Structure 1
Amino acid sequence: MDFFEAQDRARRQTGWLVLLFMLAVAGLILLTNLLVLGVLAYNQTGVPTFSPALLAEQFQWDVFLGVAAVIIALVFLGSAYKTMSLSGGGHKVAEMLGGRALSPDSRDPDERRVLNVVEEMAIAAGMPVPRVYLLEEEGINAFAAGSSPNNAVIGITRGAMETLTRDELQGVIAHEFSHIFNGDMRMNIRLIGVLHGILLLALIGYFLLRSSYFVRASRNRQAGGLVVAIIALGVGLLVIGYVGHFFGQWIKAMVSRQREYLADASAVQFTRNKQGIAGALKKIGGAMHGSLLETPAASEYSHAYLAQGVKGFMQSLFSTHPPLPDRIKRLDPAWDGEFVVPVKVPPGEATQTETPHMEAASGGTAATAAKPSIDIVGAVVAAGVLSAGRMVDQVGRFDKQQVEAAQAIIAAIPPSLREAAAEPFGARAVIYVLLLDPRPQVEREQQRLLEQQADPQVVELSKTLSAHRRELPEAARLPLIELTLPALEGLSDEQYRRFRAVVQALIAADKRVDLKEWILQRLVIRQLDQQFGLRKPARAVHGKLTRLKDEFQVMLSLVAHTEYPDAQQAEQAFDAGAAEADMTDLTLLPRDALDLNTLNHALDTLEQLKPLAKPRLLKACAVCILHDGNTTVPAQELLRTLASCLDSPMPILVKSSES
Structure 2
Amino acid sequence: MFKRIALFLATNLAVLGLFSIILAVLQANGYSIGQNGQLLLFAAIFGFGGSLISLLISKWMAKRSTGAHVITEPRNESEQWLVATVRRQAEAAGIKMPEVAVYDAPEINAFATGPSRNNSLVAVSTGLLRAMSRDEAEAVLAHEVSHVANGDMVTMALIQGVLNTFVIVLARVVGRVIDGYISGNREGGPGIGYYVIVFVLDMVFGLFASMIAMWFSRHREFRADAGGAKLAGRDKMVAALERLSQTYGESTLPKQVAAFGISGGVGHGLKRLLMSHPPLAERITALRNAPMQSVRGTVVS
Tell me the TM-score normalized by structure 1. 0.36
1:155 is aligned, of 120, 123, 129, to 123
- CA distance in 2: counterparts of 1:187 and 1:157, whole angstroms: 25
Contact 1:138–1:289 (CA under 8 A) maintained in structure 2: no
- CA distance in 2: counterparts of 1:133 and 1:30, whole angstroms: 51
Q: 1:89 to 1:115 in 2, by over 3 A?
A: farther
- The answer on 1:165 being equivalent to 2:129 is no
2:11 is aligned, of 5, 10, 17, to 17
1:403-427 residue CA offsets vs partner (Å, 9 max, x unmatched)? xxxxxxxxxxxxxxxxxxxxxxxxx
1:93-124 residue CA offsets vs partner (Å, 9 max, x unmatched)? 63586463513214266555433321332345
Q: 1:29 to 1:237 in 2, by over 3 A?
A: farther
Q: Which residue of 1 aligns with 2:282?
A: 326
Q: 1:195 to 1:284 in 2, by over 3 A?
A: farther
Counting only pairs closer than 5 Å after superposition, residues 525-604 of structure 1 correspond to structure 2 as: none
Structure 1 residue 129 displacement after superposition: 1.6
Contact 1:96–1:297 (CA under 8 A) maintained in structure 2: no
Q: Which residue of 2 aligns with 1:271?
A: 232
Q: Name the structure with the higher strand share.
A: 2
Contact 1:75–1:200 (CA under 8 A) maintained in structure 2: yes
Q: 1:321 to 1:22 in 2, by over 3 A?
A: farther
Aligned residue for 1:152, secondary structure, equals strand
Q: Which amino acid in 1 is paired with 2:84?
A: N
Aligned residue for 2:123, secondary structure, equals strand
Aligned residue for 1:283, secondary structure, equals helix
- Work out which of the two has the higher radius of gyration on C-alpha atoms and give 1 or 2: 1
1:287 is aligned, of 247, 254, 265, to 247
Aligned residue for 2:118, secondary structure, equals helix
Q: Find runs of 4+ consecutive structure 1 residues off by over 6 angstroms.
A: 24-31, 199-202, 309-313, 394-397
Q: Which residue of 1 aligns with 2:182?
A: none
- CA distance in 2: counterparts of 1:124 and 1:138, whole angstroms: 30
Q: 1:126 to 1:201 in 2, by over 3 A?
A: closer
Unaligned runs of 5+ in 2: 173-190, 290-295
- CA distance in 2: counterparts of 1:137 and 1:197, whole angstroms: 36
- CA distance in 2: counterparts of 1:26 and 1:314, whole angstroms: 32
Structure 1 residue 172 displacement after superposition: 1.0
Aligned residue for 1:259, secondary structure, equals helix
1:238 is aligned, of 182, 188, 199, to 199
- CA distance in 2: counterparts of 1:105 and 1:179, whole angstroms: 25
Contact 2:214–2:275 (CA under 8 A) maintained in structure 1: yes
- The answer on 1:60 being equivalent to 2:30 is yes
Structure 1 residue 130 displacement after superposition: 0.6
Aligned residue for 2:71, secondary structure, equals coil
Contact 1:86–1:92 (CA under 8 A) maintained in structure 2: no
Contact 2:110–2:261 (CA under 8 A) maintained in structure 1: yes
Q: 1:309 to 1:158 in 2, by over 3 A?
A: farther
- CA distance in 2: counterparts of 1:28 and 1:295, whole angstroms: 36
Q: Which residue of 1 aligns with 2:180?
A: none
Contact 2:227–2:298 (CA under 8 A) maintained in structure 1: no
Q: Which residue of 1 aligns with 2:152?
A: 184
Structure 1 residue 23 displacement after superposition: 5.8
Q: Which residue of 1 aligns with 2:186?
A: none
Q: Which amino acid in 1 is paired with 2:242?
A: K
- CA distance in 2: counterparts of 1:325 and 1:172, whole angstroms: 16
- CA distance in 2: counterparts of 1:140 and 1:134, whole angstroms: 12
Q: Which amino acid in 2 is paired with 1:77?
A: I
Q: Which amino acid in 2 is paired with 1:149?
A: R
Counting only pairs closer than 5 Å after superposition, residues 206-355 of structure 1 correspond to structure 2 as: 230=192, 232-272=193-233, 274-287=234-247, 289-290=249-250, 292-298=251-257, 302=259, 304-308=260-264, 314-331=270-287
Aligned residue for 1:129, secondary structure, equals coil
Structure 1 residue 270 displacement after superposition: 1.8
Structure 1 residue 239 displacement after superposition: 1.9
1:9-31 residue CA offsets vs partner (Å, 9 max, x unmatched)? 32442332344455666788899
Q: Which amino acid in 1 is paired with 2:3?
A: R
Contact 1:298–1:310 (CA under 8 A) maintained in structure 2: no
Q: Which amino acid in 1 is paired with 2:198?
A: L
Q: CA RMSD in A?
A: 4.2
Structure 1 residue 89 displacement after superposition: 7.7
Contact 1:201–1:240 (CA under 8 A) maintained in structure 2: no
Q: 1:330 to 1:296 in 2, by over 3 A?
A: closer
> How many residue pairs were aligned?
277
Q: 1:13 to 1:113 in 2, by over 3 A?
A: same
- CA distance in 1: counterparts of 2:203 and 2:226, whole angstroms: 35
Aligned residue for 1:155, secondary structure, equals strand
Counting only pairs closer than 5 Å after superposition, residues 432-581 of structure 1 correspond to structure 2 as: none
1:577-596 residue CA offsets vs partner (Å, 9 max, x unmatched)? xxxxxxxxxxxxxxxxxxxx
Q: 1:318 to 1:396 in 2, by over 3 A?
A: closer
Contact 2:102–2:123 (CA under 8 A) maintained in structure 1: yes
Contact 2:48–2:164 (CA under 8 A) maintained in structure 1: no
- CA distance in 2: counterparts of 1:88 and 1:306, whole angstroms: 21
Q: Which amino acid in 2 is paired with 1:193?
A: G
Specify which structure has the bigger relative contact order, considering alpha-carbon pairs within 8 angstroms and separated by 6 or more residues: 2
